[in-house]
Structure 1
Amino acid sequence: MPTRKTKVASSKTAAKKAAARGAVKSAAKKVAARKTAVKTAVTKKTVAKKAGAKKVAAKKVAAKKVTAKKVTAKRTVTAKQASRQSSAVTSHIAAGRESSERILAIDVGGTGLKAAIIDGHGKMIGDRVRVATPHPCTPQQMVDTLATLVKPLLAQQHPTRMSIGFPGVVRDNCVLTAPNIGDEGWHGVPLADMLAKRVGNVPVRMINDAEMQGFAAIQGHGLEFVLTLGTGAGTALFRDGELMPHLELAHHPVSKHGTYDEYVGAHAREAVGDKRWNKRVEKIIGILQRLVNYDRLWIGGGNAVNLTFALPGNVAVVSNAAGIEGGAKLWHPRSLRETRQLPEANQRTGKFG
């Protein structure tokens, strides 16, 4: 049987072994904890490095984008500046060319013949001259009268071009009809060329007088209609600033009283008085609105000053001087179809044939 001493010694030995095992386990746990801490620290550093690298990369990309945007913006600004400079130069050249133009503008009316020298913008250079229209009047009498009328203007400065507005149907610089001039011998008369020979053979263009007046009045947007109230009733139609084919509404029946000319012309006003004449004009405006559906109606001519009723919001009276001022637009490239840059397209010749 073990003695009491033996038991005590055995217990001490067991305690020592247990303590040793505990110490080993504790040391192992500390080592494991250190390893875990080291791994965690390494992982955090790796993650931090990767995150830092991503941030650096993102910053570089952002910086490149900013640089690219700045370069693009700079190029855009440079391009816009170049475009503006080019447009400014072009406009300056065009403005200089237009201001240096001296256009002899002639407004042939059934009552009066008017003329003046204008620049490329339609601004009068000097005074306007006027004489009464001869009645009856042959083409040669008209040329002689106009040549005498413009002689003082030619003495002041020689024109570079000539524009003529004529009260009738005009085509290819020739007069086809002249109802308010009073002579039957006007069909096919090359009035423009006949007069050009008398004033130094300058380049010349001639259109209907209402159309020439319209060029000074229109705004160049949508459908714009022109009604002139003079000896007769002239009309013109424009679409987006371009002159449309001429319609001789002056000789179209409008009532039991006859044509537009007979209904609201100068003779009609004298016959019925201003009050009834104004009612007739108001009726005509309503008819034209339904017929044309215009966006704007411009009323010109010498009798426009006699209108007394309130005009609709899209109707306005223009100065009688517009009959001369509109002569500048005859030389603008997109005003008349035949003055465009591709005449072959209009005439179906050349490569367009």
Structure 2
Amino acid sequence: MATPSTKAKGKAKEASSTERILAIDVGGTGLKAAIIDADGKMQTERLRVATPHPCTPDQLVDELVKLVQPLVEKEPATLMSIGFPGVVRNNRILTAPHFGDEGWHDIPLADSLAQRLGGLPVRMINDAEMQGFAAIEGEGLEFVLTLGTGAGTAMFRDGELMPHLELAHHPVSKKGVAYDEYIGDAAREKAGNKRWNHRVQKVIGIIERLVNYDKLWIGGGNATRLKFELPANVATVSNDAGIEGGARLWHPRSVRETRQLPDATTRSGKFK
């Protein structure tokens, strides 16, 4: 297992095809991980376990360590990327709506996990943002909507991540129902797939008027359940994007949230 310090020391080395990134996608229902290369291609199988509920930060770290140990033993990692379903700032979790707010404010989950794994340099952002990095084309205003346990959102301008908006918790109806409650998985199961599809179609229209995006990318496990014809500037992405996007977290021009972190080693080469 690689054991570099989480604090960047000296001149940053150039990323190369030999770089191995431990990419982790934390979901409300599942925890997924794989080793990927500098281009986001999987170098190992993708492992998945159910997300424990209820779950404290310590319990989540324990579950993630158990999940990734077989991966890092087989393919030693040099970097780690984490996507988390909540507001993430400076590698710390500010909100965790799918895990309960109590005990989840200002949590250094990334550093805690990195220490358990030998001190890997680590970057963590919102899971929709990480998925977006695998989907975007890098031109114009691109918006990401993930359909999973809840509804995640991210926005990119010319390939650069914009400040995070928790649109999932913004009211989408006169009754004050938020996006999470309106098109999340619980809402789909309650309303049925047909009615849920109508709701997603409505949300796409709202986001189009609100954001005026050039391209909308729809990901998450429930993206495959969409049955209506998508507009020409809307496309779905593979659920593996939540893992594959981890490579781009180390792009020197992509991540506002993590660019200035003391443990965020700036890398060039493959990521120009």
TM-score, normalized by the shorter chain, greater than 0.5: yes
The residue number in structure 2 matching 1:309 is 228
- Contact in 2 for aligned 1:221/1:240 (Cα 8 Å): yes
> Retained in 2: the 8 A contact 1:220–1:240?
yes
- 1:26 paired residue number: none
Structure 2 Cα separation of the partners of residues 228 and 184 of structure 1: 25
Q: Which deviations, in whole Å up to 9, do the C-alpha atoms of 1:238-290 show, x marking residues without a partner?
A: 00000000000010000136000000000000000000000000000000000
User: Can you list the C-alpha shifts for 1:90-115, whole angstroms capped at 9, x where unaligned?
Assistant: xxx97xx4311100000000000000
- 1:283 aligned to 202, 209, 227, which one? 202
How far apart are the structure 2 equivalents of 1:223 and 1:263?
A: 25
User: 2:94 pairs with 176, 180, 185, which one?
Assistant: 176
**TM-superposition CA deviations, 1:134-185 (whole Å, max 9, x none):** 0010000000000000010011022100000000000000000000123511
If asked which structure has higher relative contact order (CA below 8 Å, sep 6+), I would say 2
Q: Which runs of 5+ in 2 are unaligned?
A: 1-12, 263-272
**Structure 1: unaligned runs, 5 residues or longer:** 1-92, 344-353
Q: Rg larger in 1 or in 2? A: 1
After TM superposition, what 4+ stretches of structure 1 lie above 2 angstroms from structure 2? 337-341
Residue 181 (structure 2) pairs with residue 262 (structure 1) = yes
Contact 2:163–2:256 (Cα < 8 Å) also in 1: no
Percent identical: 75
AA at the equivalent of 2:31:
L
Code of the aligned partner of 2:103: G
Q: Which residue number in structure 2 is paired with residue 86 of structure 1?
A: none
TM-score (norm 2): 0.89
Counterpart of 1:141, as a letter, is: Q
Distance 1:239 1:338 in 2: 14
Question: Which of the pair is proportionally richer in helix?
Answer: 1
Whether the aligned pair in 2 keeps the contact of 1:98 and 1:121 (CA below 8 Å) is no
Matched positions, count? 249
| Equivalence for 1:323 | 242
* Maintained 8 Å contact 1:121/1:328: yes
Matches within 5 A, 1:119-130: 119-130=37-48
Q: In the alignment, what sits opposite 2:212?
A: 293
Over the residues paired in the alignment, what is the CA RMSD in angstroms? 1.7
**Cα pair 2:88 2:95 within 8 Å, conserved:** yes
Query: What residue identity is the alignment partner of 1:324?
Result: I
- 1:339 deviates by 5.6
CA distance in 2: counterparts of 1:309 and 1:98, whole angstroms = 42
Indicate conservation of the 8 Å contact 1:135/1:182, yes or no: no
Equivalent residue runs for 1:236-255 within 5 Å: 236-255=154-173
Secondary structure of the 1:258 match is coil
Tell me which of 99, 104, 115 is aligned to 2:17: 99
Determine if contact 1:331/1:339 at 8 Å carries over to the other structure.
no
Do 2:125 and 2:257's aligned partners in 1 also have CA atoms closer than 8 Å?
A: no
Relative to 1, partners in 2 of residues 1:339 and 1:294: Cα closer, same or farther, differing over 3 Å?
same
Name the SS of the counterpart of 1:177 in structure 2: coil
Which amino acid in the other structure matches residue 99 of structure 2? I
1:190 Cα offset (Å): 0.1
Q: Is the 8 A contact 1:228 1:301 kept in 2?
A: yes
Letter in 1 for 2:218: I
Cα distance in 2 for residues equivalent to 1:188 and 1:340: 19
On the 8 A contact 1:119/1:125 being kept in 2, the answer is yes
Matches for 1:1-353 after TM superposition, within 5 Å: 97-182=15-100, 184-255=102-173, 256=175, 258-337=177-256
Structure 1 CA distance for aligned equivalents of residues 259 and 253 of structure 2: 6
On the 8 A contact 1:243/1:335 being kept in 2, the answer is yes
Cα distance in 2 for residues equivalent to 1:185 and 1:102: 32
CA distance in 2, matches of 1:276, 1:171: 35
Q: Is the 8 A contact 1:136 1:183 kept in 2?
A: no
What residue identity is the alignment partner of 1:147?
A: V
The answer as to whether partners of 1:214 and 1:226 remain within 8 angstroms in 2 is: yes
Which letter does structure 1 place at the counterpart of 2:193?
D
Q: What SS does structure 1 have at the residue aligned with 2:17?
A: helix
- Partners of 1:177 and 1:339 in 2: how far apart? 17
Do the aligned partners of 1:107 and 1:164 also contact (CA within 8 Å) in 2?
yes
| C-alpha distance in structure 2 between counterparts of 1:339 and 1:283, whole Å | 33
Shift of 1:337: 2.5
